[in-house]
Chains A and B, each alone.
Chain A
Amino acid sequence: MKKIKYSEITPEKIYKNRRSFIKSLGYGASSLAVASIPFASQTQADDRNELTSFKDITTYNNYYEFGTSKSDPYVNSQNFKTSPWTISIEGEVEKPIKISMEEITETFVSEERIYRLRCVEGWSMVIPWMGFSLSKLLSKVNPTSKAKYVEFESVYDPEQMKGQRYPVLNWPYKEGLRIDEAMHPLTTVVTGLYGKKLPNQNGAPLRIFIPWKYGFKSAKAIVKIKFVEKMPTSSWMWASPREYGFYSNVNPNVDHPRWSQATERIIGKDIWVPRVKTLMFNGYGDEVANLYTGMDLKKYF
Chain B
Amino acid sequence: MRKYFKPGVFILSTIPFLIIFYKIYFNKLGPEPVKEITHFTGEWTLIFICLTLSMTPLKRLTNLNIWISFRRMLGLFVFFYASLHLLTYIGIDYRFNLQPIIDDVLKKKYIFIGFAAWVLLLPLAITSSQMMMKLLKNNWKKLHRLIYVIAIFGALHYIWLSKTIFFRPLVYLVIILVLLALRIKIKNRNVNYG
Contacts and interface: CB of A to CB of B under 8 A. Distances in A.
Nearest to A167: B165
A38 B104 CA distance: 23
A141 interface: no
Nearest to B166: A68
A263 B34 contact: no
Does more than half of chain B's interface fall in helix, strand or loop, or is it mixed?
Answer: helix
A259 B101 CA distance: 11
Interface in A243-301: 255, 258-260, 262-263, 265, 267-271, 274-275
B149 interface: no
A169 interface: yes
A75 interface: no
A260 B97 CA distance: 14
B100 A60 contact: no
Contacts of A168: 164-165
Interface stretch (B44-52, B56-64, B105-113, B123-131): B105-113
A239 B108 CA distance: 19
Interface residues of A, number: 29
A261 to B, nearest CB: 11
Interface string A108-121: 00000000000001
B93 A123 contact: no
B71 interface: no
A258 B110 contact: yes
Contacts of B160: 258
A274 B164 CA distance: 28
B29 to A, nearest CB: 7
B31 A259 contact: no
Contact of A265 (B32, B103, B107, B164): B32
Contacts of B170: none
A265 B165 CA distance: 24
B163 interface: yes
A94 interface: no
A33 B108 CA distance: 35
B35 interface: yes
B114 to A, nearest CB: 12
Chain B interface residue number, banded:
20 to 34
B24 interface: yes
Given A258-B161, A271-B37, A56 B31 contact: yes
A260 B94 CA distance: 12
Contact of B32 (A60, A240, A260): A60
Interface string A40-53: 00000000000000
Contact of A271 (B24, B94, B108, B164): B24
B33 interface: yes
A268 B103 CA distance: 27
Contacts of A39: 95
A255 B107 contact: yes
Interface string A9-48: 0000000000000000000000010000011000000000
A274 B166 contact: no
B100 A262 contact: yes
B100 A268 contact: no
Contact of A267 (B27, B32, B94, B104): B32
A271 B100 contact: no
A267 B107 contact: no
Nearest to A121: B163
Contacts of A123: 32, 35
B93 to A, nearest CB: 7
B34 A258 contact: no
A59 B32 CA distance: 12
B161 A260 contact: no
B30 interface: yes
Given A56-B31, A260-B108, A275-B93, 6 more contacts: A123-B32, A259-B108, A262-B100, A267-B32, A269-B33, A271-B33
The 8 closest A-B pairs by CB, nearest first: A56-B31, A60-B31, A267-B31, A271-B33, A268-B31, A168-B164, A271-B34, A274-B95
28 contacts: A32-B27, A38-B95, A59-B31, A60-B31, A60-B32, A64-B164, A70-B31, A70-B32, A121-B163, A168-B165, A239-B164, A240-B164, A258-B109, A258-B161, A259-B104, A259-B161, A260-B104, A260-B108, A263-B100, A265-B34, A267-B31, A267-B32, A270-B33, A271-B24, A271-B33, A271-B34, A274-B95, A275-B94
